[in-house]
Amino acid sequence: MHNKSLAELSASLQSGEISSVELTQHFLERIKRHDSALNSFVTVTEEQALSAARQADQLIATGQAGQLTGIPIAQKDIFCTEGIRTACGSKMLDNFISPYSATVVEKLDTAGMPLLGKLNMDEFAMGSSNETSFYGPVKNPWDLERVPGGSSGGSAAAVAARLAPIATGTDTGGSIRQPASLCGLTGIKPTYGRVSRWGMIAFASSLDQAGVLGHSAADCALVLGAMAGFDAKDSTSIDRETPDYSASLSTPLEGLKIGLPKEYFDEGLDSGVGKVVDTAIERYRTLGAEVIEISLPNTHLAVPAYYVIAPAECSSNLSRFDGVRYGYRCKDPKDLTDMYERSRGEAFGAEVKNRIMIGTYALSAGYYDAYYLKAQKVRRLISDDFKRAFEQVDVIMGPTSPVTAFKIGEKADDPISMYLSDIYTIAVNLAGLPGMSIPAGLVEGLPAGLQLIGNAFEEGKLLNIAHQFQQVTDWHLQSPAAFA
């Protein structure tokens, strides 16, 4: 049952082959059996999940069910969930029980999807490997000595190991696409503003966007359709109709123009990953696509620009965690200043502290123009590169990550190497565009992903392009042997 697609699970539920309670219990049992090896969940909501499953079965029995009704889901622990701990991977929020649910959570609850639990993540979504979590690192199901990617590593590991049929994630600089690549999944980051950010704990407000990690483009299309849409509670939400993403999956690719940025195939790309990407591109040629070499000349500036803008925004967003209103508070503070200093010093991890310090420095009076303002100007240049590229092509393709999953601790003392893990994904967030990673092959037994980048609000086109590839390949159906 855990190897079925969402459409197949929906059909099984509608036909009465299995009930939602039975399906939910099946995944809960897999979590109990396997997650001690993975550390992908920080909270398992068994009671709530089974209660929601019973309600779903009632809807199915009375003919009121939608296509997702009764199918379990797991949420990244960055989304607030009413009455359930929302820790965001941090000691700072280890005791925080949210009084409300994020819009994304509410929408998927309304769709009738029982919540299996909350998924581990890099602290406040800051990381590329899921090693910065207060709850310990997540393990990659393909090799338990390796990282799953971050910050949505818990989401990726849980879905790859078939502990959940699908999961939410968030992507600030590649945090859906990179874990999808390293764990052999399909992951989509929609256009900035397509999915509500209300109730999603903020890291970098102009970059964060919620999305989905699943096995196939068809699965992701179903859930993204339920998540997306305008939300008046979110000032960054775009008031634009959400298309039926599933309806356009079967459009033929004849005449599709694919752009290959020469900057994405440089010496930093692992040769094995490069071969996987080349083979995938050739498969698209056989589907009728035309391949055109393009240039995104400011690509090399994406990482430095991101690591000024994102820390600047995080230093502002995380100022609310001060030990006063909610979250961690130090014991026996001497005075207000001592409470601020010790609460933040004791509750934030090293990576979060580093980024707060960098961001505060970049926003300070003497350096704002030299760093933050300049980074925003570079951001515009990067966005303009994409605009020019989409005048020539329909979609941009390349590697998602320059390497496959590396060993836990391997880059702990090399932050530059760690930050460069997202070199091919960061520019997409800076430009606010939709991006996907789809499984494209294995390199020495480890998954490698192909990245698809679309023009604004063209998630449907990306899902269609991914789905057509998945109709003629089976990489998205493969799973780590230990969790089959």
Q: Which tokens sit at 399? A: 């590697």
CB 166 within 8 A of CB 213: yes
Phi, psi of 142 (to 5 degrees): -75, -25
Residues 6+ positions from 461 with CB-CB distance below 8 Å:
248, 394, 395, 454
Q: Check 19, 76, 129, 189 and give the catalytic one.
A: 76
Q: Check 175, 181, 216, 343 and give the catalytic one.
A: 175
Read off the DSSP letter of residue 306: H
Alpha-carbon distance 56 to 69, whole Å? 6
Strand 186-189 vs strand 435-443: parallel, antiparallel, or unpaired?
Answer: antiparallel
- Based on its alpha-carbon atoms, the radius of gyration of the chain, rounded to whole angstroms, reads 21
Residue 151 annotated among the catalytic residues of the structure:
yes
Q: Check 5, 98, 151, 216 and give the catalytic one.
A: 151
Terminal Cα distance for the chain, rounded: 11
Strand 115-119 vs strand 73-76: parallel, antiparallel, or unpaired?
Answer: parallel
Q: Helices 103-110 and 217-227, interaxial angle, to 10°?
A: 110
Q: By three-state DSSP, how is residue 453 classified?
A: strand
Residue 377 annotated among the catalytic residues of the structure:
no
Beta strands across the sheet bearing 167-171? 41-44, 115-119, 73-76, 167-171, 209-214, 186-189, 435-443, 446-453, 395-399, 257-261, 290-294
Alpha-carbon distance 428 to 453, whole Å? 7
H/E element, 343: helix 336-347
**In a 10 Å sphere around its CB, with 0-12 CB exposed, 13-18 middle and 19+ buried, how is residue 301 labelled?**
middle
Alpha-carbon distance 72 to 131, whole Å? 26
Residue 250 annotated among the catalytic residues of the structure:
no
Q: Catalytic residues, which ones?
A: 76, 151, 175
